[in-house]
Amino acid sequence: MFKRKSEKFRIMILVLYFPISILVIEILAHLSLFNGLSLLMKNPFAFLLNTVLFASITYFFLALFKKQTIVLTFMTIVSFLVGLGTKLKIDFRGVGLNILDFSILQEAGGMTNNLSTSFIITASLMVFVFSLLFVFIISNMPKIQLSSKIRRNGILAFMLVSLFLYFLGPYTVTIKSAGIKRKLYIEESGSLYYFAAQIQNTTSLRTPSEEEVATNLQPIVDATKVKEDTVKPDILIIQSESFTDPTIIGMDKFSADPIPFFHSMQKQSYSFGISVPSFCGGTANTEFEVITGMSTMFYPSDATVYANYMTNPTISVGSILRNNGYTSTLLHPFHSSFYSRNNAYKLLGFNKFYGLEYLTGVKAVNIDTRYWDAVDDYMTDAMLYSHVINELELKSEENKFVFAITMQNHTPFVTPDGYENSISYLGEGLTNRVTLLKYNTYLSNLKASDDALKDLITYLRKRSKPTIVLFYGDHYPKINQNGNAYTDLGLVENLTTPENDYTTHVTPAFIWSNYKNVGKASKDIDASLVSAKLLSLTGVEVPNYMKVNNYLESLNINSMTNAYMVMNGQFYNNDSEEYKKIYPLYSILNGDILGDHKYLETTDWFIEDNETYINPQD
């Protein structure tokens, strides 16, 4: 097989090429030598699995093209790309690469334009050193000669591995503990295998038949009583980045209350917990559920619906209110193309979308992190709310709907310049110095967000135009990689049981109005049902599917997932009779609205062309 079999050193170099490649991928995926070695030290079987997978791919290309130097150079470049690509994905989403990321290459290219200098220097230095290492390895390898039979076997073996990954791969990176399914973390599966095992990453949406819709959903619609309201208010939704209530673990654990104004609002509003689909990341999926009234549980957990699946006009709160005579505007101080939002909001029927490129007069929040700058400046909540007020103050005969998505509390956590109201964690749970520093900075950011919210509500109290507000947090902040900081803080004992999983997916929320009493609440509401609750308080005309969501909300569905349901505070696993009664309603409803047919709705609710859509890029 080798021309010079006696050269043991060269053969050893060939054998070591494969595990060294996996080590390089993991080191680049964390930009850390120690963290990169963690897969080998903590999970040697996963390391071996990744090594075998890399070797089989290399073997396939060698069998196919016979050009050893070219193939090994190509595989080396692939290892660099997988490692650095995983690093970027972890920083933004907390998860590794999957096949769906190839559908947003343009967006990924835009992300690379905003890499920090430290990131570029560190990554470049590592790639340079590893390049020299691989030049030495490849140049000292023995020449491999493969017979026709061996080449055929290599191609056949690769095809078998591919079939295994396609049909069984998703199951091998999913574990189940105490009834909760979750995907393995990168540290548990390895970056390469995590990616390869998700070649088949498809939606479970099923388009229902007209009979299913008529039998299961239409009776709910027909029984719905329409509540009319002569007052049509302006409507404001604020999705606050990583907004949570840290004090649920005890006020004595903190130097001061980080959200005193929010706590005061809980006493004078419809205050509740919103059960979101995301934990430590995944902003856009929480937003999708609230803005559409649809559930993300029918999509892969790593997917972003906007970027990966939204290709056709879809009903949303934006299009619903637009059909009620409102001007629908969305504000988000981040790049318009990120998560393909610029295209998504057009399909969702909004009149206008103003991203970071347009929102001028930004008050700088200096980002100074070791490796990664998402943008040069994160807009403070106070500055974003000034843009919200500008929109509300525009002279127009139409009512206004504004959906604002904040960025201030996004990682990396940086306190706004000149902000003095720092908050500290006084408990003993966080022993890691870096984690504690991040958490204290987050707490101070949270206080700044609370101050900005106070100023906004103060303005709205004085506003003569009737206005109703929905405010909520999108998910828990990513204090450390796997979220186990929340076990250290004492929020939950672990992250596996249904009860603890539910706790880490509920964030604080309220609905408040400056013109009428919206009632009081204490129950949690599933994120996909919140917009139906909001619209029911405004008296606007809604499509049929929102009437179904109102019905589900009236049943006190606190949370609905693929693993369990919480209804009236009670947990029901997915094999329970209660779950089996409710899940089909979700499945039929989501499949009908997001599928090929629209039996429940007329086309009037879909903004088909949206030719007047405004999305300025500068």
Query: What does the pLDDT read at residue 287?
Result: 96
Where does residue 190 fall: left (phi above 0), alpha (psi -120 to 50 degrees), or beta otherwise? left
| pLDDT confidence band for 346 (50 / 70 / 90) | very high
| 285 shares a domain with 171 | no
Residue 553 has pLDDT above 80, yes or no: yes
Last residue of a domain, one of 144, 162, 196: 196
| 552 shares a domain with 524 | yes
The letter for the amino acid at 244 is T
The average pLDDT across 504-525 equals 92
Residue 217 lies in a domain: yes
607, 349 contact by CB (below 8 A): yes
Residue 235 has pLDDT above 50, yes or no: yes
Nearest to 173 by CA among 192, 194, 190, 199: 194
Query: What does the pLDDT read at residue 178?
Result: 43
| pLDDT confidence band for 617 (50 / 70 / 90) | low
pLDDT in tens, 362-385: 443 443 332 223 334 578 899 899
| CATH number assigned to the domain comprising residue 478 | 3.40.720.10
pLDDT in tens, 308-323: 788 889 999 999 999 9
Q: Which residues contact 222 (CB under 8 A, 6 or more apart)?
A: none
Residue 203 lies in a domain: no
pLDDT in tens, 70-102: 999 999 999 999 998 888 777 766 667 776 666
Nearest to 249 by CA among 493, 501, 451, 433: 493
Query: What does the pLDDT read at residue 595?
Result: 84
Nearest to 616 by CA among 338, 403, 342: 342
| 259 shares a domain with 144 | no
Query: What does the pLDDT read at residue 576?
Result: 93
Residue 119 lies in a domain: yes
Q: What are the phi and psi torsion angles at 269 (to 5°)?
A: -150, 175
Residue 419 has pLDDT above 80, yes or no: no
The average pLDDT across 333-357 equals 89
| 305 shares a domain with 215 | yes
Query: What does the pLDDT read at residue 275?
Result: 97
Encoded tokens for 491: 């929020």
| 265 shares a domain with 180 | no
The average pLDDT across 481-505 equals 85
Q: List, in sequence order, every residue forming a beta bridge with 571; answer none if it has no partner.
A: 566
- Secondary structure of 469-500 in HEC code, one letter for each residue: EEEEECCCCCCCCCCCHHHHCCCCCCCCCHHH
Last residue of a domain, one of 162, 196, 230: 196
Helix (H) or strand (E) holding 508: strand 506-513
Query: What does the pLDDT read at residue 176?
Result: 47
Residue 25 has pLDDT above 80, yes or no: yes
Residue 466 has pLDDT above 90, yes or no: yes
Residue 617 lies in a domain: no
How many CB atoms neighbour CB 215 within 10 A? 12
Residue 18 lies in a domain: yes
Number of domains comprising the chain: 2
Stretch among 19-28, 45-54, 242-251, 526-535 having the lowest mean pLDDT: 45-54
Nearest to 327 by CA among 547, 534, 541, 613: 613
Residue 58 lies in a domain: yes
| 327 shares a domain with 219 | yes
Query: What does the pLDDT read at residue 196?
Result: 77
Percentage of residues of the chain with pLDDT beyond 70: 85
| 234 shares a domain with 171 | no
Last residue of a domain, one of 129, 162, 196: 196
The average pLDDT across 333-352 equals 89
| 220 shares a domain with 100 | no
Residue 124 has pLDDT above 70, yes or no: yes
Query: What does the pLDDT read at residue 120?
Result: 83
pLDDT top residue among 262 and 485: 262
563, 181 contact by CB (below 8 A): yes
What SS3 class is residue 342?
helix
| 304 shares a domain with 157 | no
Residue 204 lies in a domain: no
Q: List, in sequence order, every residue forming a beta bridge with 557; answer none if it has no partner.
A: 567
Residue 140 has pLDDT above 80, yes or no: yes
- Tell me the C-alpha distance between 455 and 378, whole Å: 19
CA-based diameter of the chain, in Å? 91
Residue 187 has pLDDT above 70, yes or no: no
Q: Which residues contact 164 (CB under 8 A, 6 or more apart)?
A: none
Residue 251 lies in a domain: yes
| 153 shares a domain with 240 | no
Query: What does the pLDDT read at residue 365?
Result: 41
| pLDDT confidence band for 347 (50 / 70 / 90) | very high
Encoded tokens for 311: 């290709």
User: Which range, 117-131, 214-228, 540-554, 594-608, has the best average confidence (pLDDT)?
Assistant: 540-554
Domain extent for 233: 210-605
| 188 shares a domain with 314 | no
Residue 555 has pLDDT above 60, yes or no: yes
| 236 shares a domain with 112 | no
Mean pLDDT across the chain, nearest whole number?
84
pLDDT top residue among 76 and 615: 76
592, 303 contact by CB (below 8 A): no
pLDDT in tens, 468-479: 999 999 999 988
Encoded tokens for 157: 């073996």
Residue 169 has pLDDT above 70, yes or no: no
